[in-house]
């Protein structure tokens, strides 16, 4: 069981992620709708794992990943990716992303990646 923070500007994505993670027995500590809020909630809640969307307003997922890893080097950040984001994925790897999950979500894939990261 992991304590998870969900960061995504899409209400639908947050709902799907929450549902799938709760089914697996994980605890959702909170949700954030942009990278800045994600950083603030990370600092406040100190979750085991963050799921981080890439395209978001205010501060995108890459910038939020950088901020979190700068201040909390041990943070486990799972990037949520969509088709056509290859450059962003490279940038996320360079900035310390722990893993990647592609949208649309596949239950088994999400399950195994979160289990692996929760270790």
Residue 62, phi-psi category: left (phi > 0), alpha (psi -120 to 50), beta (remainder): alpha
Contacting residue, 53, 77, 80, 114, with Mg ion by CB under 5 A: 53
Return the SS3 of 98.
Answer: coil
Contacting residue, 45, 55, 102, 111, with Mg ion by CB under 5 A: 55
Closer to Mg ion by CB, 38 or 47: give it: 38
Q: Is 95 in the site for Mg ion (CB under 5 A)?
A: no
Closer to Mg ion by CB, 2 or 56: give it: 56
Phi, psi of 76 (to 5 degrees): -105, 110
Return the SS3 of 89.
Answer: helix
Binding site for Mg ion (CB under 5 A): 9, 53, 55-56
């Amino acid at each position: 069981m992991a304590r998870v923070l969900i960061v995504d500007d899409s209400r639908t994505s947050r709902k799907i992620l929450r549902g799938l993670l709760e089914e697996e027995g994980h605890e959702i500590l909170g949700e954030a709708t942009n990278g800045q809020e994600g950083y603030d909630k990370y600092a406040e809640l100190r979750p085991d794992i963050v799921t981080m969307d890439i395209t978001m307003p205010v501060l995108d997922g890459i910038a939020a990943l950088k901020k979190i890893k700068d201040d909390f080097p041990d943070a486990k950040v799972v990037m949520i990716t969509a088709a056509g984001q290859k450059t962003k994925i490279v940038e996320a790897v360079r900035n310390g992303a722990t893993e990647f999950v592609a949208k649309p979500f596949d239950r088994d894939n999400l399950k195994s990646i979160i289990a692996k990261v929760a270790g």
